[in-house]
Amino acid sequence: MKNLMKKTTMTLLVATALAATTTQAQAESARSFNEPVVQEQWIGMGSGAAVGGMVGGPVGAVIGAMVGGILGTAVGQDGYIETQNARLSEQAEAIQSLNARNAELEPVLDSYDTLKQEMANLRATQLQRELALAMNVHFRTGSSEIEPHFQSQLDEIAELMKQSPEMNWELSGYADRRGTTARNLTLSEARANAVRDYLESRGVNPLQIVTIAYGEEEPLQTDENGESDFFDRRVTLRSQQGPVQTAQSN
């Protein structure tokens, strides 16, 4: 009887040692996954040892503990994998949703860019018409020097010319009726050339510009006085499609 108890005790000690060794090895392996894996190992070992003890006695308990620990680890790893798979599925759904939203936004962005370009074209056309109808550069008596106020306006016209290379511009120079006809013609030519040179200095293509000198011809008013003389001393800028006239160009 005593020998049987000793064998049983020794078997249990061996089982305990083997179970502890197996548990430590499995715990080291499970640390890279999650803490619940360790808990699953202990549950697996306990149930495995119980089943092994009932089936095969002390030796069966040792084997059952080892097998139970392995099964517990597998159960814990399966749970971790399922959790990661669920997270990956959620991320894939989020990415798919973002892609769908981007696809919906692309037509809106394209439409916005189109409308923006159309507005810019309309603004340029409107500005071009306004300038073609009303843009005059006025000069002091006997002078062809461009005043600073008109220089800033010519800067805007130069930008418009560069943005619309298909448009050509006629620069018509005029003088008031004081002085001789020959002198007024020369002065009107100098004024038109001054405006042309200024535009070209701002990067405008010379092929877009033609200058014409009218001298004292085409006064804006019939009466000759100080006020009308001011408006007659001018260069008028007119835009036109197609080739510029060159018959009277200078």
Quote the tokens at residue 127. Answer: 């500005």
User: CA torsion sign, 33 to 34 to 35 to 38?
Assistant: negative
Which CB contacts under 8 angstroms, 24+ apart, belong to 150-156? 151/198, 154/195, 154/198, 154/199, 154/202, 155/202, 156/127
Does 146 lie in the same domain as 106?
no
Does 178 lie in the same domain as 99?
no
Does 205 lie in the same domain as 119?
no
Does 10 lie in the same domain as 52?
yes
CATH assignment at residue 230: 3.30.1330.60
Does 121 lie in the same domain as 3?
yes
- Split at pLDDT 50, 70, 90, the class of 121 is confident
The per-type count for the chain, helices as H runs and strands as E runs, is 5, 4
Comparing 43 with 186, which gets the higher pLDDT? 186
Give pLDDT, residue 83. Answer: 85
Domain span at residue 156 reads 135-241
What is the total count of domains within the chain? 2
pTM of the predicted model as reported, rounded to 2 decimal places: 0.46
Does 118 lie in the same domain as 6?
yes
Q: Give 165-199 pLDDT, tens digit per residue.
A: 888 899 999 999 998 999 999 999 999 999 999 99
- Split at pLDDT 50, 70, 90, the class of 117 is confident
